[in-house]
Amino acid sequence: MLRELLVSAILLGSAIAAPALAEGPGSDSKHQSRSFPAARLHQVDRALEEAVAKGLLPGAVVLIAWDGEIVHHEAVGTLDAAAAAMPKDAIFRIGSMTKPVVTAAAMVMVEQGRLGLHEPVTRYVPEFAGLRVQTRSTDAAGNAILGTAPPARPISIHDLMRHTSGFTYSFTGPATDPIRKAYLDQGIEQIEADLPADEMVRRLAGTASAWASRSARRTACPPPRAARATPPGSA
């Protein structure tokens, strides 16, 4: 079970459908809430309005729910280039929603003592035992030299949660980046065909990690707490 959870944290692909939330009493009236101070809800609206005014985004919809009840629901800015007002029921394209779901599930297991935040990922996904990181240097003439090296420390479960594991995407970085090319050549991000998770992990394990050379070498990893997590396979 722990392996499947962590592989999900690594791959992070599918969208999750959220259950419907009931409109609570007074939810149609601005800042009517039994659980949240109106002044703080005003701050949320002001922050979004300022972002729109600065041109950081054209518009937004904010919805805050508590215990299955919507306690705040507002729209700011515009929906499109035609400057139509943003409706509260606007439809947005969203992604990466596996991340918070998997992380929340993992944190429950941390709370239960079944998983340690600072445990190495290789304890559950041993394919990454030989993972290398990309290095960058320059020669005497100032030309870039790219290479690989062992990471300063193993990738931890905590790294998966905070985006410091070094795993990246094929569409980021310069077009000449060898890691970007490797992602494409290995078909790590299959879009047109299904790719089993174990096969994706196998391909990913054979590709150098893009940013771990920064995160693993520069980010101090607190020592593991007293071992409380159960051995792999016993959960």
- Regarding whether 153 and 101 lie in a shared domain, the answer is yes
Distance CA 159, CA 121 (A): 9
The answer to the question of residue 234 being in a domain is no
- Regarding whether 201 and 110 lie in a shared domain, the answer is yes
Tokens 């029921």 map to which residue?
89
The answer to the question of residue 225 being in a domain is no
Beta bridge partners of 42: none
- Regarding whether 112 and 72 lie in a shared domain, the answer is no
Distance CA 166, CA 162 (A): 10
Q: pTM for the complete prediction?
A: 0.57
Distance CA 22, CA 13 (A): 28
- Regarding whether 125 and 63 lie in a shared domain, the answer is no
Please, what is the average pLDDT of the chain?
Answer: 77
Task: Please list the active-site residues.
Answer: 96
What total of structural domains would you count in the chain? 2
Q: Is residue 90's pLDDT more than 90?
A: yes
Percentage of the chain modeled with pLDDT above 70: 74
Q: Give me the amino acid identity at 231.
A: P
Over the chain, what HEC string results? CHHHHHHHHHHCCCCCCCCCCEECCCCCCCCCCCCCCHHHHHHHHHHHHHHHHCCCCCEEEEEEEECCEEEEEEEEEECCCCCCECCCCCCCCCCCCHHHHHHHHHHHHHHCCCCCCCCEHHHCCHHHHHCCEEEEEECCCCCEEEEEECCCCCCEHHHHHHCCCCCCCCCCCCCCCHHHHHHHHCCCCCCCCCCCHHHHHHHHHCCCECCHHHHHHHCCCCCCCCCCCCCCCCC
Distance CA 29, CA 232 (A): 51
- Regarding whether 131 and 54 lie in a shared domain, the answer is no
- Regarding whether 203 and 118 lie in a shared domain, the answer is yes
- Among 46, 77, 108, the domain-final residue is 77
Cβ(17)–Cβ(206) under 8 Å?
no
Cβ(42)–Cβ(48) under 8 Å?
no
The confidence score (pLDDT) of residue 4 equals 62
Count of other CB atoms within 10 angstroms of residue 234: 9
pLDDT band at 87 (very low <50, low <70, confident <90, very high): very high
The answer to the question of residue 85 being in a domain is no
Q: Is residue 42's pLDDT more than 50?
A: yes
Distance CA 34, CA 85 (A): 29
The domain in which residue 132 lies consists of 2-13+97-218
- Regarding whether 52 and 104 lie in a shared domain, the answer is no
Distance CA 102, CA 133 (A): 25
The answer to the question of residue 167 being in a domain is yes
pLDDT tens, residue by residue, 128-143: 998 888 888 888 888 8
The answer to the question of residue 184 being in a domain is yes
The confidence score (pLDDT) of residue 19 equals 39
- Regarding whether 205 and 113 lie in a shared domain, the answer is yes
The confidence score (pLDDT) of residue 220 equals 33
How much is the average pLDDT of 10-28? 43
The answer to the question of residue 223 being in a domain is no
The answer to the question of residue 87 being in a domain is no
pLDDT band at 117 (very low <50, low <70, confident <90, very high): very high
State the greatest distance between any 2 C-alpha atoms of the chain, in Å, as a whole number: 70
- Regarding whether 60 and 101 lie in a shared domain, the answer is no
The answer to the question of residue 27 being in a domain is yes
Q: Is residue 222's pLDDT more than 60?
A: no
- Regarding whether 135 and 57 lie in a shared domain, the answer is no
- Regarding whether 73 and 131 lie in a shared domain, the answer is no
- Regarding whether 129 and 176 lie in a shared domain, the answer is yes
Cβ(115)–Cβ(157) under 8 Å?
yes
